[in-house]
Amino acid sequence: MDFSISEEQKLFKQSVTEFARNEIQPGATERDAEARFDRDVWDKAAEFGLMGLPFPEELGGSDASVFDTCLAGEALGYGSADMGFCLSWGAHVAIGGVPIWQLGNDEQQKKYIPRIASGEWIAGLGLTEPEAGSDAAGIKTTAEKKDGYYVLNGTKTFITNGQVGNVFVVLAVTDKEKGPGGISGFIVEKDFPGFSVGNEIHKMGHRSSPTSELIFDNCEVPAENLLGVENEGFMGVALTTLEWERSVLLAAGVGGMELQLEQCIDYAKERHQFGRPIASFQAMQFKLADLKVWLETSRLIVYKVAWNKDQGIMDPMLASIAKLFVSEVGVQAADQATQVFGGYGYTKDYPIERSIRDAKLGTLGGGTSEIQRWIIGRLLIGK
């Protein structure tokens, strides 16, 4: 068992960190305040090669492993100070692009992956609905096959990249009698007849990542845009994206926690009370120690999820453990960091207040903490 990363991986991670620090971090505070997605920043990241990391070279990608893509996510979270960008990037790669690459046929891969890998097209996943959040298999959007098309009707909500996306993997019911076994996946382009973007959703955090509804009103999707096998979309997409999402997106949070710790250490050394730096007080050292423990533990578990995926090891329990632990620790870490900064941590003059707003999404999006505990519990007792 080797817990080290290679020199090549260290250099790769450092290069992504430097890119993020130079090209994404400037303006991050303003983008958050304005809830603005910056296409210029996106295009720079695409030119750097971040949008196509895991995809095959023959499709315009870099053939990066899950682990290396995870390292890129960690570096982005650490260097950019823009978790909204990290969210949009992670959704584009891990839950928008990966299903098309993994489940799509040759024609679909050749048509869509080069555009996704280049960043020309922005991808996303249409799963969550107003009445189907944690109960993802309870979606109501339908797809009826008719005259060479699937006609989709329904509404998706909380869709990352909704306003800016060009192509979405959308899950819809094709056989109402089969429950989760009657759900299919579709590749839907933004210009398909009957498709529109609904209300923008205004969030407390990750504000530079656009979120909205997707509306399907007799949306005509060509039959050849069925993704994978009919009625096998739910498990197909879930099994394909689970470890990708749980490693790439969580890794960005780990990077953010590392940046947060460095900011706390610097502040604690500079801030003086009672005639000395607050870092000299044992109570403050305990807070910093907690932040370090949470960071290193989170990093290890995310790395293991990514490593497992590269080895072909399916471990849904570990994926849920990682999601639960890293997201909840992320909230605790942000709260602890705010305490380190004291009253200043509650102001917009320091970046910590953004961290606490961003962190909360982890316990809600992509499966709530309650759902993760439910999954872990059921797996433990063999259900």
Active-site residue 245, yes or no? Answer: yes
Task: Tell me 37's DSSP state.
Answer: -
d(CA 215, CA 195) in angstroms, rounded, equals 6
Task: Tell me 95's DSSP state.
Answer: I
Contacts of 381 (CB under 8 A, 6+ apart): none
d(CA 237, CA 228) in angstroms, rounded, equals 9
Cβ atoms of 130 and 155 closer than 8 Å: yes
Query: What are the structure tokens assigned to 207, written together?
Result: 């504000």
The catalytic residue among 74, 213, 245, 353 is 245
Please report, as a single letter, which amino acid is at residue 12: F
Q: For residue 69, give the H/E element and its range.
A: helix 66-80
d(CA 153, CA 226) in angstroms, rounded, equals 15
d(CA 365, CA 380) in angstroms, rounded, equals 23
* Residue 37 CB coordination number (10 Å): 19
* Residue 298 CB coordination number (10 Å): 23
Question: In terms of DSSP bridges, do strands 149-160 and 195-200 run parallel, antiparallel, or are they unpaired?
Answer: unpaired
Residue-wise burial string across 248-267, b where 16 or more C-beta atoms lie within 10 A, e elsewhere: bbbbbbbbbbbbbbebbbeb
d(CA 153, CA 246) in angstroms, rounded, equals 30
Report, as residue numbers or ranges, the catalytic residues: 245
